[in-house]
Structure formats: structure tokens, C-alpha cells
């Protein structure tokens, strides 16, 4: 505020002196100034009361490389105009401007500045749309916005802090099987189905005598009338194919060496690609990993379920996963078996295929487990004496560099990237390296 408590005390003193010495000009000056300060204080308290600031996203979940449109809206719902309004806001790191705007401003930490300066009439609404590209996977929280405004007289300023809870999830980039160098038709053979058979009530194969404990809704009334005694419907049994992605977040044999970011991010992308493929193929998908995610005290685990949001759940888990390994992957493979459905196909995605991991996989294979290994290392793994399929999917050069090109080397419009990623897929290397053992 332009006039602080010391100025107000001085103005009161001047007014009293004018009254005492009977100086009308001095008294009028003090009274008018105090009135002006009182009106300014009243306006300051109300200038931001009816001003609403909010962000709106065109999407709350994106894949890497896709465009996010952030609409920063300002609305004046009050009866008084706001002649000078400032909003300090920014986008989280990891989001970059989609358009090359030379006038764009950035904060000291390279965060895109979403600040605004405007004036609003009573009932007026204004919006600023910024196009951002998601460059990294993760869970993004848009920070606090600071709103400031001067009153109509320009004598005082009001400030407000809006602690909004706008969230954004960026999935890893996904590719088609063709782009990964994997066979597109029946890539992993026939998935082993769950051994637990499920009755399909829509497929009736006959009737039998009623037994104690049979559900009342399963009574076959036509057969009951024909036989003269209670009959129960007999339905055909069905089973559904199930796959669990076993993801290894370790990229070095020695944990103290840290993490190879390129291979780690590529492993997440391959795991996400397999999840998308399984979802489109009608396979019940799950995820288990020796990594962890925020607020999880133990290893990350998404149990296989047949639900509309299962694929999104798996991709969200991959988006927020950390590279910190809670246990060695060979031990994890053995201890995690008690949490997996019987008969489920295990798709192992790993950057390492050490002798210890190979021994654990062989032990599971000898126990009758259906094992498929996808190596995401740069060099082909040693697949000698491994009786289960092993595929080599090295990192694509365009993934880590952030480039999006077609087969001719021309840039691809990021706006249409979602369809190409989930549907037709991104073009892979001309001759993908793949080592397969049937």
C-alpha cells in the first residue's frame, strides 16, 4: 500500500493540528487525504474478491511428444473494474513451448512463464492459450499462482496466492511391434490362458439335477417343467489369456553405478508398448517391477484385471516409476511368482541378462512358467541354452534425442503423433536388430 501506518498517523496528526489552530485548509487536506486512503483500502479489499483465475487443459494424460494446450482464464465477476491485474504462473520443467515464439519468456530454471498482465471490466473474461510439448514422462503438478492487482485509484495493491491442484500425467512413448522389430502376427505364440475356468452364462450346453448350494438364478425352468424336478443350467467354460510385464529397472550389475537413463527410459517405453499391444489384442495385462513409485513402500505391482481402466493404470504406473531398484531382479522374479495368476504369460523386459537372471528364468521355465524375454540393451544378449523366446529391441536413436521423423527423415507433426504411436506406430530403424530363439 502507498500509505502505510506512519503516513496515516501523520495525516491524523495534521488534521488535529488544523482543528486546533483553526486552519480550514490544513484540516480539509487531512480529512480529504484520510478519506482517500479509506476508500483505497476498501477497494483494495474487494479488488480480488471476485477475480477468478483457473487453468484448463485439453488433456490430463498425454504421451511423450504430444501437445498440451493450457488455457489460463481470468474472470472478473464483480461490479468494479480491475485496471491493472498481474498473474505470476509457470509450467513445470519437462514441458516446453510447442511453437517457436521469440517473445516467450522463461523463468530462471527454464520453466515456461505463463504470466499475464491485463485489465478487466465488470463481468469480462479473458484467456491465454499456451501450447506445450511433453518432453519427458512423469507426473507433473502445476505450481502456485500469484495474483496481484491495483485498485482503481492506483494507491494500493492486493495480493493473493492460488494453490491450485492441476495435475498432468505423461506416459512413455509407445511404438508398434513393427517399429520395435517384433513380429506383428502372433508375436509370442499362443498365450497360455488361466487354468481357472470360468462359466459363461451366455453359452448354455445343457442341464443337470439341482444340487444343494446351486444359485437360484441358475435354475433351468424349461428343463424343470419337462423333467418334473429341479434342473440347473450347465454352461460352457471359458478362459481368458493373461500376461504380466515383468520390468527390470536395473541397468548396471552394480547398484552403486547408478542408472543408465537411456536404457531405463527405453525399457519403460517398450513395456508401455507391450501393454498397449496386449490391450488391443484383448489380453488381460498386469505389471510387476522391482522399481518403485511415489508413496509406495514396496515394489510396484498392478494385478491383472479385466477392466476398462486397466491399460491406463499400467501406463500411469510406468509414467511415475523411479529407477531405484528395491531388490535384484533374479530374486524378484522368484519371489514375485506368488502374486501372479497361475498360467499367466510373463513378458520380461530387461536391460540386463546376467547369468543370475538367466538362471532364475530357467528355473521358472522348468517349473512350467511361460516365459518371454525382451532385451532392451544396446548389444544383443547371449541367448545360448535358453529354451524360451528372447527378443532384442535396441533403443531407437530418435527416442532419446526427441526427434520425430518419418521413414524419409521428414519431421512428423506432433499433433497427429497419438494415432501413429498407438495405432500404426513410429518408424523404427531400417534394419532392426532382433535375436529370436523359438
pLDDT at residue 102 greater than cutoff 50: no
Same domain, 36 and 75: no
H or E segment and range at residue 262: helix 261-280
Rounded Cα distance, 336 and 329, in Å: 10
pLDDT at residue 402 greater than cutoff 50: no
Same domain, 145 and 269: no
pLDDT at residue 421 greater than cutoff 80: no
Tell me the mean pLDDT in the region 380-407: 71
The closest alpha carbon to 2, from 153, 161, 159, belongs to 153
Query: Can you read off the three cell numbers belonging to residue 85?
Result: 491485474
pLDDT at residue 409 greater than cutoff 60: no
212 occurs within a structural domain: yes
Final residue belonging to a domain, choices 171, 189, 216: 171
Same domain, 254 and 390: yes
DSSP label at 291?
Answer: S
Query: Can you read off the three cell numbers belonging to residue 135?
Result: 518432453
Same domain, 408 and 370: yes
Same domain, 287 and 324: yes
397 occurs within a structural domain: yes
193 occurs within a structural domain: no
Same domain, 251 and 341: yes
Rounded Cα distance, 69 and 178, in Å: 31
Q: What is the pLDDT of residues 143-196, one digit of tens each?
A: 888 998 887 777 777 888 888 778 899 999 888 888 888 876 666 655 544 444
315 occurs within a structural domain: yes
Q: What is the pLDDT of residues 346-368, one digit of tens each?
A: 999 999 999 999 999 999 999 98
336 occurs within a structural domain: yes
Range name among 163-167, 229-233, 309-313 with the lowest pLDDT average: 163-167
Query: Can you read off the three cell numbers belonging to residue 438?
Result: 523359438
Contact 77, 184 (CB under 8 A): no
Indicate which CATH number applies to the domain containing 292.
Answer: 3.40.50.410
Contact 87, 143 (CB under 8 A): no
Same domain, 135 and 32: no
Same domain, 258 and 359: yes
Q: What is the pLDDT of residues 208-223, one digit of tens each?
A: 898 877 887 788 888 8
Contact 86, 147 (CB under 8 A): yes
**How far is Cα of residue 356 from the mean position of the Cα atoms in its chain?**
33
Contact 362, 334 (CB under 8 A): no
Same domain, 39 and 57: no
Beta strands across the sheet bearing 370-375: 300-302, 284-289, 242-247, 345-350, 370-375, 390-392
186 occurs within a structural domain: no
Contact 216, 200 (CB under 8 A): no
Same domain, 247 and 234: no
Indicate which CATH number applies to the domain containing 144.
Answer: 2.60.40.10
Same domain, 98 and 221: no
Rounded Cα distance, 433 and 283, in Å: 26
Same domain, 204 and 77: no
**How much is the pTM?**
0.70
Place of cell 506512519: 6
Place of cell 480480488: 48
Per-residue pLDDT band at 3 (split at 50, 70, 90)? low
Contact 132, 70 (CB under 8 A): yes
331 occurs within a structural domain: yes
The number of folded domains in the chain is 4
DSSP label at 396?
Answer: P
Q: Which domain holds residue 96?
A: 53-171
Amino acid at each position: 500500500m502507498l500509505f502505510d501506518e506512519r503516513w496515516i498517523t501523520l495525516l491524523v496528526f495534521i488534521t488535529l493540528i488544523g482543528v486546533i489552530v483553526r486552519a480550514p485548509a490544513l484540516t480539509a487536506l487531512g480529512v480529504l487525504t484520510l478519506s482517500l486512503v479509506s476508500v483505497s483500502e476498501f477497494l483494495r479489499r474487494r479488488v480480488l474478491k471476485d477475480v477468478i483465475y483457473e487453468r484448463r487443459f485439453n488433456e490430463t494424460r498425454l504421451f511423450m511428444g504430444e501437445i498440451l494446450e493450457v488455457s489460463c482464464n481470468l474472470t472478473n465477476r464483480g461490479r468494479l473494474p480491475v485496471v491493472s491485474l498481474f498473474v505470476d504462473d509457470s509450467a513445470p520443467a519437462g514441458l516446453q513451448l510447442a511453437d517457436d515464439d521469440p517473445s516467450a519468456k522463461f523463468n530462471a530454471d527454464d520453466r515456461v512463464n505463463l504470466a499475464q498482465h491485463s485489465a478487466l471490466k465488470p463481468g469480462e473474461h479473458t484467456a491465454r492459450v499456451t501450447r506445450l510439448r511433453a518432453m519427458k514422462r512423469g507426473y507433473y503438478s502445476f505450481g502456485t499462482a500469484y495474483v496481484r492487482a491495483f485498485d482503481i485509484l492506483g494507491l494500493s495493491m492486493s495480493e493473493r496466492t492460488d494453490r491450485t491442484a492441476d495435475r498432468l500425467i505423461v506416459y512413455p512413448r509407445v511404438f508398434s511391434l513393427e517399429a520395435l522389430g517384433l513380429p506383428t502376427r502372433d508375436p509370442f505364440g499362443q498365450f497360455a490362458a488361466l487354468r481357472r475356468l470360468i462359466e459363461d452364462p451366455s453359452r448354455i450346453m445343457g442341464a443337470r439335477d439341482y444340487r444343494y448350494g446351486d444359485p437360484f438364478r441358475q435354475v433351468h425352468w424349461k428343463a424343470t417343467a419337462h423333467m418334473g424336478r429341479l434342473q440347473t443350467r450347465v454352461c460352457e467354460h471359458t478362459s481368458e489369456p493373461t500376461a504380466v510385464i515383468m520390468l527390470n529397472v536395473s541397468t548396471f550389475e552394480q547398484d552403486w553405478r547408478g542408472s543408465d537413463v537411456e536404457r531405463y527410459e527405453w525399457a519403460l517405453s517398450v513395456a508401455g508398448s507391450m501393454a498397449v499391444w496386449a490391450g488391443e489384442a484383448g489380453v488381460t495385462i498386469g505389471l510387476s517391477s522391482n522399481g518403485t513409485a511415489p508413496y509406495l513402500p514396496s515394489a510396484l505391482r498392478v494385478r491383472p484385471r479385466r477392466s476398462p481402466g486397466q491399460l491406463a493404470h499400467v501406463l500411469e504406473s510406468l509414467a511415475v516409476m523411479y529407477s531405484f531398484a528395491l531388490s535384484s531382479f533374479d530374486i524378484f522374479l522368484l519371489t514375485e511368482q506368488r502374486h501372479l495368476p497361475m498360467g499367466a504369460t510373463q513378458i520380461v523386459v530387461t536391460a540386463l541378462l546376467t547369468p543370475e537372471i538367466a538362471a532364475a528364468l530357467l528355473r521358472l521355465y522348468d517349473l512350467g512358467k511361460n516365459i518371454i524375454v525382451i532385451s532392451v540393451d544396446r548389444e544383443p544378449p547371449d541367448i545360448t541354452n535358453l529354451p524360451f523366446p528372447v527378443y532384442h529391441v535396441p533403443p531407437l536413436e530418435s527416442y532419446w534425442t526427441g526427434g520425430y521423423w518419418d521413414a524419409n527423415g521428414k519431421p512428423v507433426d506432433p499433433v497427429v503423433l497419438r494415432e501413429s504411436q498407438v495405432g500404426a506406430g513410429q518408424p523404427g530403424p531400417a534394419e532392426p536388430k532382433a535375436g529370436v530363439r523359438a
